[in-house]
Amino acid sequence: MESIVAPDCAMNAGLATAPGYAYDYPVNVHLDRRSRRLRATPAIRQLVQEIDLAPRQLIAPLFVREGGGPPVEIGSMPGVVRYSVADLVNECRQLAELGIPAVALFPVTDPAEKDPIGREALNPDCLVLRAVRAIKSAVPGLLVFTDLALDPYTTHGHDGLLTSDGTDVDNDATVEVLAQMAILHGRTGSDFVAPSDMMDGRVGAIRRTLDAADLSNVGILAYSAKFASAYYGPFREAVGSASAAGTRSLDKRTYQLNPSNRREAIQDALLDEAEGADILMVKPAGAYLDILSELRRATRLPLAAYQVSGEYAQIHAAARLGWLDYRKTRDESLIAIRRAGADMILTYFAKEIADELRT
């Protein structure tokens, strides 16, 4: 073997002593740009970090139930619970102290209050509106987002009123109910109503109805690109929308987006912008980062992303099995959502992230 001599450096010293290797000429590596200089120390890495996580970017989804007693755990969502109204208020105080600016409320409606047309949704004293009043009285500076959809209130678990033959959701009849819900929520104190139903034209109808009711300051966070996803299972367990119909899951493909369709998702989101939405949202977040990124380029409106129950649950499950590092995977998943273009994230990790950042 031809013999060569390497320069006196640690790396080549190891090679020089390895069997069969000998160097007898110097290697002169010249690079105009060395990217690793900007990764060399923790201080440098922090200085040049492009995306960060902060409590001000997080919205905490919270489940509220009837009655008193301690919070009720949700089996498929470790650490997430259903709160009584009193405990919900205490949780909101803690979140505000941690710097989280907003919560999104989801009611767990008593099955006795459900019916095929979701009458309870238009009850001025329904659970979610009582919760809004309590939060606004105790923590007035905390922003409250309330969901506009009928799935918590219907026995069939769909997001709207069914057609006369029961085979589909009636778009226009549902929109009328959503607009009426928006007035109730706005008058009660919701800062943003959040139509999550994916009916055509609902954002425009809600905006017109709010303005006509002298509620022009109430904002709309539109679930603009909400996909018919398999990742919603734990949420449906939490609110009881699937169990109401005696099923583990519901087929909502006539109104939620096809996971295969990128162009359609962007089109729907831009329609919501044209109809008066203040914030657009992509749901789920993790599997649809491409949609979030493209929408970020297509609009100047603020963008939200919902890291949904299934995303949360799978991180917990993999960590409990020892397959993934819980904290690192959690943080990487949220950074990816921010990097793709989200200005704010609805995430069940919100409280623990804010608590860790404080310390």
Compute the distance between CA of residue 278 and CA of residue 142 in angstroms, rounded to an integer. 18
C-beta separation of 127 from 240 below 8 A: no
Asked, as a colleague might, if the bond just before 152 is cis with ω within 30 of 0, I would say no
pTM, two decimal places? 0.91
Q: Catalytic site residue 226?
A: yes
Q: Return the bridge partners of 123, or none.
A: none
71: left (phi over 0), alpha (psi -120 to 50) or beta: beta
Domain boundaries, the chain: 1-30, 55-358
User: What are the residue ranges of helices labelled H in 115-261?
Assistant: 127-138, 171-188, 202-212, 233-239
Query: Strand, coil or helix: what is 329?
Result: helix
**Alpha-carbon dihedral 78, 82, 86, 87, rounded to 10 degrees:** 0
Please report the pLDDT score of residue 5 as a whole number: 47
- What tens-digit pLDDT sequence spans the chain (359 residues)? 444 444 454 455 555 555 566 566 677 788 989 999 999 999 999 999 999 999 999 999 999 999 999 999 999 999 999 999 999 999 999 999 999 999 999 999 999 999 999 999 999 999 999 999 999 999 999 999 999 999 999 999 999 999 999 999 999 999 999 999 999 999 999 999 999 999 999 999 999 999 999 999 999 999 999 999 999 999 988 998 765 555 556 899 999 999 999 999 999 999 999 999 999 999 999 999 999 999 999 999 999 999 999 999 999 999 999 999 999 999 999 999 999 999 999 999 999 999 999 86
**How far apart, in Å, do the first and last CA atoms of the chain sit?**
60
Token pair listed for 205: 């109808």
Exposure string of 89-126, with b = 16+ CB inside 10 Å and e = fewer, is bebbeebbebebbbbbbbbbbeeebbeebbebbeeeeb
C-beta separation of 351 from 359 below 8 A: no
114, 136, 252, 283: the catalytic one is 283
219-226 vs 192-195, strand pairing mode? parallel
Please report the pLDDT score of residue 21 as a whole number: 61
Q: Catalytic site residue 136?
A: no
Please report the pLDDT score of residue 3 as a whole number: 46
Length of the chain: 359
Compute the distance between CA of residue 289 and CA of residue 133 in angstroms, rounded to an integer. 35
CATH H-level superfamily of 55-358: Aldolase class I (3.20.20.70)
Compute the distance between CA of residue 160 and CA of residue 94 in angstroms, rounded to an integer. 34
Q: CA dist 274 to 90, 202, 203, 280, 283, Å?
A: 38, 12, 9, 11, 20
Q: How many CA atoms lie within 13 A of 2 on its CB side?
A: 3
136, 226, 252, 351: the catalytic one is 226
Please report the pLDDT score of residue 30 as a whole number: 86
